[in-house]
Chains A and B, each alone.
Chain A
Amino acid sequence: NAGVMQNPRHLVRRRGQEARLRCSPMKGHSHVYWYRQLPEEGLKFMVYLQKENIIDESGMPKERFSAEFPKEGPSILRIQQVVRGDSAAYFCASSHSSGSTDTQYFGPGTRLTVL
């Protein structure tokens, strides 16, 4: 039973480039969440998606950041024109249903470094 998968595990980009982070939820899960973790800090919610729908993007910066979860394939978090402040670990989590009490399981994260 494969857990939440994320790739790449490490990503290095120069300022101004684009970063694409992928997340495949656990088998049977159709709800995906993206969180950002800055060094020595807690996780901060960014966006919540279901298949083909963005449910809540209240934690995602309005500019340069976008997310999708297509009918087929992984969820993608896209950061355009990266800046040094985007350097962080980006974790996705998945859950089976939409209830607020449903357990979220985390992937291994993508560590983005912006040079």
Chain B
Amino acid sequence: GENVEQHPSTLSVQEGDSAVIKCTYSDSASNYFPWYKQELGKRPQLIIDIRSNVGEKKDQRIAVTLNKTAKHFSLHITETQPEDSAVYFCAASSNNAGNMLTFGGGTRLMVKP
């Protein structure tokens, strides 16, 4: 089955700096890669996703890149703000594995004011 690895597990940045979180996946048939933000005690909220027919997608301060050959994808947050502090999860899914999302282990992002 699919296996998703996520790094780093914790990331501390200064307000205004950029943050990058990286994920690798094992199933070459995976074709959908969402990123979720989860604040303490809250639900995972979709912040951006990318499908395998594109290599990059951007939404304001958030961007995601996908390298299908290397089987990795990354989340980039620019001009970080204290409210960006949360746990971020990457995930992957494929037609071969039904519709289940396989999640990475999460990255705890701390943005220091």
B32 and A41 contacting across the interface, CB-CB below 8 Å: no
- Evaluate contact between A109 and B104: CB separation under 8 angstroms: no
The interface bits of chain A over 19-51 (1 if a CB of B lies within 8 angstroms of the residue's CB, else 0) are 000000000000101010000011111001000
Give the interface residue-count category, chain A: 20 to 34
Known pairs A100-B94, A101-B32; A45 contacts B100 (CB<8 A): yes
A108 touches B89 (CB 8 A): no
Give the number of chain B interface residues (Cβ < 8 Å): 26
A24 to B102, CA, bound (A): 22
**B105 touching A42, Cβ below 8 Å:** yes
The chain A residue with its CB closest to the CB of B29 is: A100
- Which residue in chain B gives the minimum CB-CB distance to A95? B99
Q: Which residues of B contact A18 (CB under 8 A)?
A: none
Q: With an 8 A cutoff between CB atoms, is A104 at the interface?
A: yes
B7 CB contacts on chain A under 8 angstroms: none
Say how far A91's CB is from chain B's closest CB, in angstroms: 7
A56 proximal to B (CB < 8 A):
yes
How far apart are the CA atoms of A88 and B47 in the complex, in Å?
24
| Most chain A beta-carbon contacts within 10 A, residue among B43, B45, B93, B106 | B43
Contact (A102, B89) CB under 8 Å given A43-B44, A91-B43, A108-B42: no
Do the beta carbons of B89 and A42 come within 8 Å of each other?
yes
Complex-state Cα separation, A106 to B106, whole angstroms: 16
Task: Determine whether B20 belongs to the interface, using a CB cutoff of 8 Å to chain A.
Answer: no
Complex CA distance for A58 and B97, rounded to whole angstroms: 10
Known contacts A91-B44, A106-B43; decide if A33 and B103 are in contact (CB<8 Å). no
